[in-house]
Amino acid sequence: MPESAYASLFLIGLLGGTHCVGMCGGIVGALSMGRGQRGGLQLAYNAGRISSYALAGALAGMLGEAGVALSGTLPARLVLFFLANLMLVALGFYLMGATHVLGFVERLGQGLWRHIQPLTRRFLPARTVMQAFPLGLLWGWLPCGLVYSALVMALTSGSALRGAGMMLAFGAGTLPTLLLAGLLAVRLNEYMARPVVRGAVGLLVMSFGLWGLYNLLRFTFHH
């Protein structure tokens, strides 16, 4: 997997932060309402959330490694690379407001989330770091087309370590927007919901996928 994948996932997380505000903005806003240690609560929550992404990335990397081992190296990697970039194109539409494009993917995670969501109530309202961190760990499994698209890319990593690293890069990309959302709360949420902002972000993310598909076609025809 090229090293540029880490930078790409960081940028996708950064650009897709508009969507993260919609998904996690309520909890992040609530954490910012407390006095004194609200900065610590924000960091603890996001550390938990990104840790869950890394764990999911490690599992995806292991799955991709097993698939490559069973199917033969090059063909399996090409199929995974194709799926990853196709997901990015779909993610671009998703971020522009066509949520049905990845709706079926999110529904796949609903079964798991139904078991996890009740556990989050134990840590709400989160008033301490020891409550905010596990809340983030659990909330990291919320069904999300943006996260699932990144996980498909982690599948192509070929190892648990690289898969975890890729999802850490993605999670780090989402961090600035969510930390800012904790400070600006409703005002930032309204800004991120503007069609022109969503459209620009969606087109940029889509360009990653289209560029990857173009390179895949060029590689296929030259081999």
- What are 200-215's pLDDT values in tens digits? 878 888 888 888 888 8
Spatial separation of the C-alpha atoms in residues 27 and 136, rounded to whole Å: 10
Spell out the domain ranges in the chain: 4-81+100-192
| Structure token digits, residue 140 | 């990291």
Residues in Cβ contact with 84 at an 8 Å cutoff, skipping those fewer than 6 apart: 152, 153, 155, 156, 212
Spatial separation of the C-alpha atoms in residues 68 and 26, rounded to whole Å: 40
Residues in Cβ contact with 47 at an 8 Å cutoff, skipping those fewer than 6 apart: 133, 136
How large is the average pLDDT for residues 216-221? 76
- What are 2-60's pLDDT values in tens digits? 566 788 888 888 877 766 666 665 676 667 665 546 678 888 999 999 999 999 999 99
Backbone angles phi, psi at 126, to 5 degrees: -80, 110
- What are 81-131's pLDDT values in tens digits? 788 788 888 888 877 877 677 777 788 888 888 999 999 999 988 888 899
